[in-house]
Chains A and B, each alone.
Chain A
Amino acid sequence: MMTSFLFRALDARAGIFLAIMAAAIILVPAANLLAPEGSAFHVPNYAVTLMGKYLTYALLALAVDLVWGYCGILSLGHAAFFALGGYAMGMYLMRQIGTRGVYGDPNLPDFMVFLNWQELPWYWYGFDMFWFAALMVLLVPGFLAFVFGWFAFRSRVTGVYLSIITQALTYALLLAFFRNDMGFGGNNGLTDFKDILGFDIQADTTRAGLFAASGVALVLCFIICRALTRSKLGKVLVAVRDAESRTRFLGYRVEHYKLFVWTLSAMMAGIAGALYVPQVGIINPGEFAPANSIEVVIWVAVGGRGTLVGAVLGAVLVNFAKTWFTGALPDIWLFALGGLFVFVTLFLPKGIVGTVSQGWTALRQRKVSAAYEAGSDVPPGAPPQSPGATANVSATKPNPTPSASAGAEPQPAE
């Protein structure tokens, strides 16, 4: 049962993706650690960290794609879950500092000593244990998403309204975490981490390990998402996206489906945040900024919403562009990003992956139909299914002139 569930996740496109990921997970750390400095194969340390960061972003984009691309919930607040996961990890890393902080207090993190706090607030208990922090990375964003979604979906808040209140959510959290009394370091956030699970956080091996961990997390989440969206439940999600009322009238509890996928997505965002923090070495309230959440959405849009692989690709591409632009032409970056928003929504509504696979399908259909017209023995009917069947519903236009064979044969897309 479980194997068939997971097996369904695999097809050609997913296979290519997984192969590339596996190669990256093995080769990048290897090239960083084994290849000697100066050799052509050596990957510098900063590049490992940078790519690790991209992978966590890709995981966040995957989470957004799951709710937006498959369920039609445009979240403008996913960075909130990302940051919450990051804070949970940050708290663990703060506790690991122990007496090595500036003030050397065995019990309190530096910022609390600085603010004259006498004892550890209750919500910091347990974060000195990794398993507890790891659990919180999942539970805190998951719980928040569950409560928020429970209210929002039950009262059928949809569309633009939902997008705006997700933004209000992350904005409220942003303001809250800026407060010093919250006990999360206020403006400065949590930083100055020393080690993770006993390994020095600055060491090359740790960094390579974190990269690999990010890659593995991404692969696992990808497989889960892939299996989920290709299951029956995934079909219902797509139905909710395309015709929510109709799905409800057919007897599906739409809000339950939405709530499930929403909470799952928030947990994935939390994992992404937790992997992000040790690699960049800081978490502060800036991560909650509404603009961040909106940027994630554009990664997904660029790659192609509703295509999982596209979300990953979009996140990596846009962030690579960002790194390059902000270094080379800092003034141009916002123009480029803004232009990307406009260009993608106007001209690439399916994103890169969606558009490419649509073109691919069209090409194959044309071949098939050409062969059919030439009188070869390809049986009519059964149009070739593309992997992203949902993405190209509109690609197969209804036949303008009714044909004799009941219109079942594929039509070449213009």
Chain B
Amino acid sequence: MSLLKSFFLLVGLMVCAASEPSFAQSGPEALRPLINGLAEGKYAETEKQIGALVATGDPAVAPALEALGEGDLYVRKSDGAVFIATKAGKGYALTDPLTLEQAGEAGRRDVSKIKVNNKLRRVLRSALGSLTLMAADPQVRMAAAEAIFKARDPDGIEALDAALAAETDDGVRKVMEEARAAAVLNSDLDEPQKLDAVQTLSVMGNRDALSLLIGVQSSAGGAVRDAATQAVTRIQKSIAAWDAAQNIWYGLSLGSVLLLAAIGLAITFGVMGVINMAHGEMVMIGAYVTFVVQELIRTSAPGLFDYSLFIALPLAFLTSGVIGVAIERGVIRWLYGRPLETLLATWGISLMLQQAVRSIFGPTNQEVGNPDWMSGAFEIGQMTITYNRMWIIVFAMLVFAGLMLVLKKTPFGLYTRAVTQNRRMAASMGIRTPWVDAMTFGLGSGIAGIAGVALSQIDNVSPNLGQGYIIDSFMVVVFGGVGNLWGTLVGAMTLGIVNKFLEPYAGAVLGKIFVLVFIILFIQKRPRGLFALKGRAVEA
């Protein structure tokens, strides 16, 4: 129980330190004999020495203890001085454990490692935890509390109590309480305390708490066991709900990717009855535009990097749009009334575009960076939400809304809808259908381009980028029905969510196969998709 004693000492010191910070500043030289003492004798003595070091309560001893835990602490044979050593060439580079300054080099035979066993490692872990529990930086305190939570060391309880008394940050306080609860459950304290701890963990309600409580369930008895059982069922329920929420979120995220990829296809298919097999390549071109923009920014104006996507968006729209119009004017307009031939011709174009990009940029993946505001993640309850997925959902919705606005509120949109519903009648009313075709094709391709900007953030930018999305986008269009953007939205989101819900049970690949088979069957039932255009034609 020498360790426990040292903890009491430490607690005393820490309470003093809290009230009078200057007390613990004993200076590096006062600590040196204690540090050097680590190298003397067997494990038991080392353990005692660790206790003494911790008892000083000086954060300066932390690097030495950390190094000891990792097996980087060495003793110089000539004078018994202790150093942190890292391999350098044939010997070791020495670092002073207290001042962290370079302390020359030593040959391989001049120093010897201070050995640690698992028991010592455990001691070190909790010792470091309690040392850092009082650190000034709340992040460090948080990390220390989390370390104790993982170690579940009952010896940490006193240190935590002391730290809790001094803690001001609510977030850190909560983690500390949870860590304390975890430690209490592992200790031989009495029942009421343990019941409190179970309560705390039950409120905590995440997977860590769950696995802890399941452990308690099997080891404890009596009231604690019952309380743990209750808490476990409660947590399992809430985790299941959070899992469902997370799946829906992933599904929405996949759905918005599909929506971005498919929406342009849906427009061109709706208006012209033409399947554009080169649509995926428009997405790919959009992604490559992003890459080029980022490269230019990197070399000429690194400060603009965070805005690179905003610069890339209009450029990608224009590039893909112009290529789209060129394809329409150059090839597709000669093939009207022959949708199957159009399919083949656009497939040929897609092959050429792929090869062109491969020849220019090379076949390998290109590095497209995430701006700061797109990297990282935050948590809601038990869900992790990454910023890039979130922004893509937002972006997809914006694109959808913008497109809706264009189609419903502008003259161009009116013409487009008229041609979609009845091409001949629209032509008779004086709408220049070839112009509408070209513009629609350009618009659809342009949207594919900006979809590429978004996809460059979550996918590999390679010449094959578009291929990966083309079949999925077809499925969305076919499932949702043509000529109706809502159909595309519902189709994309449904397929995304269904896919993500099947994944945990069936695996990603089998889930995808199920979705494909489902669509094949669905088409039998509704050959024109979910939101079919109403009309009287015998054959479309």
Interface residues of A (CB under 8 A from B): 74, 148, 151-152, 154-161, 163-165, 167-169, 171-172, 175-176, 178-179, 244-245, 290, 294, 297-298, 301, 331, 334-335, 337-342, 344-346, 349
Contacts and interface: CB of A to CB of B under 8 A. Distances in A.
B344 A346 contact: no
A301 B344 contact: yes
Given A74-B340, A156-B527, A298-B344, A341 B539 contact: no
A185 to B, nearest CB: 15
B538 interface: yes
B519 interface: yes
Contact of A331 (B355, B475, B523): B355
B355 A334 contact: yes
A34 B520 CA distance: 53
Interface string B258-277: 00000000000100010101
Interface string B347-380: 1111110111011000000000000000000000
23 contacts: A151-B520, A151-B524, A159-B340, A159-B540, A160-B273, A160-B339, A161-B478, A164-B474, A165-B523, A167-B474, A168-B516, A172-B512, A175-B516, A176-B509, A334-B352, A334-B355, A335-B351, A337-B348, A338-B349, A340-B348, A341-B348, A344-B344, A345-B345
Contacts of A335: 351-352, 355-356
Given A74-B340, A161-B527, A338-B355, A175 B509 contact: yes
B351 A338 contact: yes
A176 B335 CA distance: 36
Contact of A339 (B348, B525, B527): B348
Interface in B267-302: 269, 273, 275, 277
B520 A334 contact: no
B348 A154 contact: no
A171 B343 contact: no
A156 B524 CA distance: 8
B516 A171 contact: yes
Interface in B511-538: 512-513, 516-517, 519-521, 523-525, 527-528, 538
Given A165-B520, A171-B516, A334-B351, A342 B345 contact: yes
Nearest to A301: B344
A158 B509 CA distance: 28
Contact of A157 (B344, B359, B524): B524
B343 A74 contact: yes
Interface of B: 269, 273, 275, 277, 331, 334-335, 338-345, 347-352, 354-356, 358-359, 471, 474-475, 478, 509-510, 512-513, 516-517, 519-521, 523-525, 527-528, 538-540
Given A334-B352, A337-B351, A338-B352, A349 B341 contact: yes
B471 A290 contact: yes
Contacts of B338: 345, 349
Contacts of A339: 348, 352
A176 B352 contact: no
A210 B348 CA distance: 33
A298 B348 CA distance: 9
A254 B277 CA distance: 29
B509 A163 contact: no
Contacts of B342: 345
Contacts of B341: 345, 349
Nearest to A289: B467
Nearest to A68: B340
Given A339-B352, A345-B335, 16 more contacts: A152-B524, A171-B471, A172-B516, A290-B471, A294-B277, A331-B355, A335-B351, A337-B351, A338-B350, A338-B352, A342-B331, A342-B352, A344-B344, A345-B345, A346-B331, A349-B338
A152 B344 CA distance: 22
Given A298-B344, A338-B348, A339-B348, A168 B510 contact: no
Contacts of B520: 148, 151, 165, 168-169, 172
A176 B512 CA distance: 9
A340 B354 CA distance: 15
Pairs of residues from A and B, 4 with the lowest C-beta to C-beta distance, nearest first = A341-B348, A338-B351, A338-B352, A334-B355
A290 B516 CA distance: 14
B435 to A, nearest CB: 21
B523 A157 contact: yes
A226 B57 CA distance: 95
B512 to A, nearest CB: 6
B510 A165 contact: no
Contacts of A290: 471
A331 B509 CA distance: 32
Contacts of A171: 471, 516
A344 B65 CA distance: 76
Nearest to A297: B344
B335 A155 contact: no
Given A74-B343, A178-B509, A155 B348 contact: no
Contacts of B349: 338, 341-342
Contacts of B478: 161, 164-165
B538 to A, nearest CB: 5
Contacts of A165: 478, 519-520, 523
Nearest to A340: B348
Nearest to B269: A160
Contact of B513 (A164, A175, A244): A175
A402 to B, nearest CB: 28
B339, B342, B347, B471: most-surrounded residue (chain A CB, <10 A): B347
A132 to B, nearest CB: 27
Nearest to B353: A338
Contacts of B512: 172, 175
A40 to B, nearest CB: 38
Given A161-B527, A175-B512, A151 B521 contact: yes
B262 to A, nearest CB: 12
